[in-house]
Amino acid sequence: MTSRSNDLPSGKQDEEPKEYRGSCLCGLFTYKLTSDPLLSTICYCLNCRKWTGSAFTAGLAFPLSSLRPSEESKAYIRQFIDTSQSGNELQRTFCGECGSSVYTEVPWADVVSVARGGLEEGEKLPAPSTEYWCCRKEEWVDVKEIGESFQRND
């Protein structure tokens, strides 16, 4: 059954605020982001690899102010203060129940880098356009159509 009234043009639809939602593996840690991503990245640095347990981390950077962990999630949020090579602090955030890597807050840059795998509808999110720490990239990794590549990101 279709209703014609649903097909009426509505100029307001495009103006709804964007929202992106995500969660950890067990589902107890959920969050949303209330603006569009600023950048889609891959990082091969050793800390990102340890954090995710993978050969690289794929992340989407959003303005830090757009991050909204759900009220129910607050009991499960765990943070580890990581320090970059240049001495800047990053807050690696994971679920205290299942251990999933969820996002990294980067207060000095005013962004949060959200682990791509936790976001809903990943196939609709922008493909990575920037890669960092290529000097740590393993030979077999072949990510196509990256816009900008950096050997390091100190």
Q: Which residues bind Zn ion (CB under 5 A)?
A: 24, 26, 28-29, 43, 45, 48, 95, 97-98
Instruction: Annotate 59-123 with DSSP letters as a single string.
Output: EEEEEGGGEEE-GGGGGTEEEEEEE-TTS-EEEEEEETTT--EEEEEEGGGTEEEEEGGGBTTGG
Q: Whole-angstrom distance between the N-terminal and C-terminal Cα of the chain?
A: 57
Shortest CB 84 distance to Zn ion, Å: 8
Structure tokens at 14: 């495009």
Of the pair 18, 26, the CB lying nearest Zn ion is at 26
Q: 30: part of which helix (H) or strand (E)?
A: strand 30-33
Shortest CB 106 distance to Zn ion, Å: 11
Shortest CB 85 distance to Zn ion, Å: 10
Within 10 angstroms of residue 20's Cβ, the number of other Cβ atoms is 20
Within 10 angstroms of residue 91's Cβ, the number of other Cβ atoms is 14
Shortest CB 136 distance to Zn ion, Å: 9
Shortest CB 65 distance to Zn ion, Å: 22
C-beta separation of 27 from 72 below 8 A? no
Of the pair 39, 97, the CB lying nearest Zn ion is at 97
Of the pair 1, 81, the CB lying nearest Zn ion is at 81
Of the pair 18, 120, the CB lying nearest Zn ion is at 120
SS3 50: helix
Of the pair 28, 119, the CB lying nearest Zn ion is at 28
